[in-house]
Amino acid sequence: MYYLKNIFFTIGTLSLIGFLVLAFTSQPVLEDGHDTLENDYNVYALEIPEALDFSGEALPIHTPDIRERIDRELLVNTYWQSNGLLLFKRSHRYFPVIEPILKSYGIPDDFKYLALIESGLQNVTSPAGAKGFWQIMEPTGKEYGLEINDNVDERYHLELSTHVACNYFLKAKEKFGNWTLAAAAYNAGIRGIANQLEKQQVSGYYDLLLGEETGRYVFRAVALKEIIEHPKKYGYNFSESDLYAPIPTSTIQLDTAVTNFVQFANKLGLNYKQLKLHNPWLREGFLNNKSRKVYTLEIPEKGYYTN
């Protein structure tokens, strides 16, 4: 009996050893014919370009702290891949709207990247109450002529809010004399930047000690510009068909009240959701319009949502 127990124990031990050897030496076979699993994902340090600029104004890239700050933003925006790819997709749709408006004011094209920083090209609301692609506060919007109330909020109107942003950029440029400080002022306010320049007795953005958000602001814009202009260099691989295409639209004029936007949309061959997607500045299911103001509504091309 003792002898049999030893035999069974020996057989069991050898079987276990054989199983473990097989488990650790064999490789799974993949469906595509590969006989090994490989991890092709690697994280690399990035080579910082020798020259970078915002709106033609150079970063002092060889200053140690400046180099580290742009390195941070390049790393964050390169390796936050899901967000980065969404920015590529959205910019393909919305930059063609923003770019000609910037150009009409003589504002450098680089300012479009501020909208990426502010909202990711989405109609979001900040904890402080700033709204829309350009994150405009209510007092600023009203100062520059936007209608803002419970019924209509033109901060959500991409074209109109871009005009407001452009006017602010020009005002800041006139105050500070360069585009880099004008961009920083969009985040911290013209008065906020002016106070810090006076307090710290310097004349440029890169010499200022600022809070976390404003201190990163221009660097984030420069990093996004670099990545979006050179996607493959930073590991982004896609074709144009992967991006969000501009939506073909037309416009109609509206100078009356609307009691029911569901019925109004149906008469246009749309549903309520489609009407509101293209006109997010209409904040309720009806329009008061007691003043008979003329509004311009964006209407998607017939058949766009049914193809």
Q: What would the pLDDT profile of 151-181 be if each residue is shown by its tens digit?
A: 999 999 999 999 999 999 999 999 999 999 9
| Residue 216: pLDDT over 90 | yes
Q: Structure tokens of 179?
A: 């585009």
CB atoms within 10 A of CB 283: 15
CA 145 from centroid of its chain's CA atoms? 26
pLDDT tens sequence across 237-261: 999 999 999 999 999 999 999 999 9
* Neighbouring residues of 254: CB distance < 8 A, sequence distance ≥ 6: 287, 289, 294, 295, 296, 297
Q: Is it true that domain 53-242 has CATH number 1.10.530.10?
A: yes
pLDDT at 87: 98
The lowest-confidence range among 37-51, 205-219, 227-241, 257-271 is 37-51
pLDDT at 43: 86
What's the mean pLDDT when you consider all of the chain?
A: 90
| Residue 3: pLDDT over 50 | no
Domain range annotation of the chain? 53-242, 249-300
Q: What single DSSP character describes residue 131?
A: B
